[in-house]
Amino acid sequence: MPSTPLQLFRSRGFAWFVQGGLWCLLYLAAINLGGKAPEYSVASASSAPPQSAAPVARLDPLFASVSPGNLIRPSDTNAPNPFFTRYFVPPPSPAPPTTRKIEVTYQGFYQTGDGPKSAVLKLGDSFVVARVGTSVATNVYVADASLQEVTLTNGSQKTVVPLNAKKEIEVPFK
């Protein structure tokens, strides 16, 4: 046997009661369809200052507008950057050298008629023929050439290179 509430929901009397309630609601809605629109009026402007959005003073900066001058610029080196770390900074590189060493070998000299002496020098792997007083390398000049040796100078220091002997000299980079 079905229970009492189930019998009540399946009865014809309950169905007539629900249908009557729905027709009543439809009638009440229909009689109020001819209502009138609300009255609109022009609002008067108030001169009262606007109130804070939050009454808590510590929350006011959250709602304040940000000016472009307050933003962090990428050129600001003291600002923390989440994409930069000082952990992997390479050690400073040594200063680039300002001079270089070259090997000079004196091969002899020659002189034509009454002309100036020309010294034959081997600089590294290349041969250079330079007259007395001309430049051999950067800031190095031939001062004198004889049968046994050549004198090279850079203005403040003189270097003597014997015949067929290798000697290292320092010259500045160009």
Say if 36 falls within a structural domain.
Answer: no
Residue 165: which CATH number?
Answer: 2.30.30
What is each CA distance from 63 to 68, 69, 172, in whole angstroms?
Answer: 16, 17, 65
pLDDT tens digit sequence for 60-117: 666 666 555 555 555 555 666 677 777 777 888 898 888 889 899 999 999 988 888 9
Question: Which range marks the domain in which residue 161 is found?
Answer: 99-172
Strand pairing partners for 170? 101
Name the 3-class secondary structure at 75: coil
Strand pairing partners for 168? 103
pLDDT tens digit sequence for 163-174: 999 999 888 886
Instruction: Kindly indicate the confidence band of residue 8, based on its pLDDT and cuts at 50, 70 and 90.
Output: confident
Say if 42 falls within a structural domain.
Answer: no
Say if 30 falls within a structural domain.
Answer: no
pLDDT tens digit sequence for 105-150: 999 999 988 888 999 999 988 999 999 989 888 888 999 999 999 9
Query: Cβ(173)–Cβ(99) under 8 Å?
Result: yes
Say if 10 falls within a structural domain.
Answer: no
Q: What DSSP line would sit under 112-166, residue for residue?
A: -TTS--EEEEEETTEEEEEETTSEEETTEEEEEE-SSEEEEE-SS-EEEEEBT-E
Q: According to the model, what pLDDT value does residue 57 have?
A: 67
Say if 132 falls within a structural domain.
Answer: yes
Say if 70 falls within a structural domain.
Answer: no
pLDDT tens digit sequence for 16-60: 999 999 999 999 888 877 777 778 887 776 666 666 665 666 766
Say if 45 falls within a structural domain.
Answer: no
Say if 54 falls within a structural domain.
Answer: no
Q: According to the model, what pLDDT value does residue 119 have?
A: 94
Q: According to the model, what pLDDT value does residue 104 have?
A: 92
